[in-house]
Amino acid sequence: MRCAPLFGLGLALLGAAPPVLAHAGLLRATPQPGSVVSALPPEVRLQFSEGIEGRFSGLDVVASNGARVPTGRAQLQGTAMVVPITRPLPPGVYRVNWL
């Protein structure tokens, strides 16, 4: 019966495990959400709480009229996703959607 207390302790430790989050969280974005910039940024950078899987993630930049803005290919740099802005954009409001 010597194993019984150890087995009970193992079950108690498993029950006390913290919940696990299955997705990375967005820590910050450049340009910042809601910001006004005076010049076209060369890229959009999203910094995450952990690494992301490139084949399952993407980023769209959309103009206020709903038109998708052409961008360069997304690059993963550690825990960041970087997407270059490849064409000049007219002044306006743009939304960045993380997919």
Predicted local distance difference test score (pLDDT) of residue 14: 47
Give phi and psi for 7, each to the nearest 5.
-65, -40
The span from the CA of 42 to the CA of 31, in Å, is 10
Degrees, nearest 5: CA angle 82-74-72: 100
So where are the chain's domains?
A: 21-98
* Nearest-10 Cα torsion for 8, 13, 14, 19: 160
- Architecture of the domain spanning 21-98: Sandwich (2.60)
Q: pTM higher than 0.75, yes or no?
A: no
Contact residues for 28 (Cβ-Cβ < 8 A; gap 6+): 46, 47
Interval 8-38: pLDDT, tens: 444 444 444 455 556 788 999 999 999 998 8
